[in-house]
């Protein structure tokens, strides 16, 4: 294991960063043994953790976004994957801790590309609050050592994210299903996005991904989504057909998310 020094500001620790390796996989930990990111050394641009596969399920509804905003950089698994597979997309990232950005570059092979892969150091909630009609996709993956950052799950934040999305935009949120806040946060998103949401659980690690749509999706129908999933699976190397089946199974009561 490799420990990086804690940076202090105002006499208080900001973040403790630990990098470990096992079985050819490098792991990022922030303040605890919990895995925040993982990178297979033989394939550093691949998605190692199943929940990150689920976060890419937005491709079923927009497989050519112009701009994706990622809140919470971690080991940069999602930005790197999109950088490789979506060559016409700008993937901007917002990370509170400059130490995390430094480790993403030095230990997790995040490319330096200010044009296609800009990284902003700062508060993700504040960043989004200043945007309007800006991002086709907003990905919220801002866990600290134990829980989702408060500034990325408030009612004001979700309202700001709704405004920051383009007309057909999608917010993708990683939630921990065992959290006592889980149901409350799902309902909060549900109300702000006019009940146009879909849930996609990752049963292996207890994450659930929320897809929240600024507007309906013109009723694509499950048959069309299955056909698209097969094509996307070939292109991106992700289990899109399985994810589509789980989306259907978990959202029998929320068909409205697919409507106008």
Q: What is the mean pLDDT of each run of 10 residues along the chain (260 residues)?
A: 47 72 94 88 96 96 97 96 98 95 96 97 95 97 65 94 97 92 94 94 88 84 92 97 93 57
pLDDT of residue 179: 87
108 in Cβ contact with 39 (< 8 Å)? yes
pLDDT of residue 183: 94
pLDDT of residue 186: 95
67 in Cβ contact with 128 (< 8 Å)? no
pLDDT of residue 30: 85
Superfamily of domain 43-258: Vaccinia Virus protein VP39 (3.40.50.150)
Q: Are strands 90-95 and 2-4 parallel, antiparallel or unpaired?
A: unpaired
pLDDT of residue 143: 62
Q: Domain extents for the chain?
A: 43-258
Is-above-0.85 flag for pTM? yes
pLDDT of residue 221: 82
Structure tokens at 88: 């016409």
pLDDT of residue 9: 46
DSSP-assigned letters across all residues of the chain: -EEEPPPEETTEE---EEEEEETTEEEEEESSSSEEEEEETTSTTS--SHHHHHHGGGGGT-SS-SEEEEE--TT-HHHHHHHHH-TT-EEEEEES-HHHHHHHHHHS-----TTTS-EEES-HHHHHHT-SS-EEEEEE--B-SSSB-GGGTSHHHHHHHHHHEEEEEEEEEEEETTSTTHHHHHHHHHHHTTT-EEEEEETTTTEEEEEEESS------HHHHHHHHHHHHHHH-S-HHHHHHHHHHHTTT-GGGG--
pLDDT of residue 10: 42
Catalytic residues: 141
DSSP-assigned letters across all residues of 111-160: ---TTTS-EEES-HHHHHHT-SS-EEEEEE--B-SSSB-GGGTSHHHHHH
């Amino acid at each position: 294991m490799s420990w990086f020094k804690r940076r202090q500001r105002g006499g208080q620790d900001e973040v403790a960063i630990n990098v470990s390796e096992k079985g050819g996989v490098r792991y990022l930990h922030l303040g605890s043994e919990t895995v925040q990111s993982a990178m297979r050394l033989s394939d550093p641009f691949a998605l190692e953790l199943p929940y990150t596969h689920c976060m890419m399920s937005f491709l079923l509804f927009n497989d050519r976004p112009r701009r994706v905003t990622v809140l919470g950089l971690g080991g940069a698994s999602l930005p790197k994957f999109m950088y490789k597979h979506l060559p016409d997309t700008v993937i901007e990232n917002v990370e509170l801790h400059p130490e995390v950005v430094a480790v993403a570059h030095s230990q997790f092979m995040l490319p330096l590309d200010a044009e296609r892969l800009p990284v902003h150091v700062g508060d993700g909630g504040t960043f989004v609050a200043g945007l309007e009609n800006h991002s086709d996709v907003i990905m919220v993956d801002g866990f600290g050592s134990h829980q989702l950052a408060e500034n990325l799950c408030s009612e004001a934040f979700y309202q700001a994210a709704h405004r920051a999305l383009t007309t057909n935009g999608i917010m993708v949120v990683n939630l921990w299903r065992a959290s006592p806040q889980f149901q409350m946060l799902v309902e909060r998103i549900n109300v702000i996005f006019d009940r146009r949401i879909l849930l996609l659980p990752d049963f292996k690690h207890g994450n659930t991904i929320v897809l929240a749509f600024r507007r309906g999706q013109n009723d694509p129908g499950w048959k069309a989504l299955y056909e698209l999933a097969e094509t996307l699976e070939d292109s991106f190397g992700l289990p899109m057909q399985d994810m589509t089946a789980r989306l259907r199974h978990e959202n029998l009561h929320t068909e409205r998310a697919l409507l106008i």
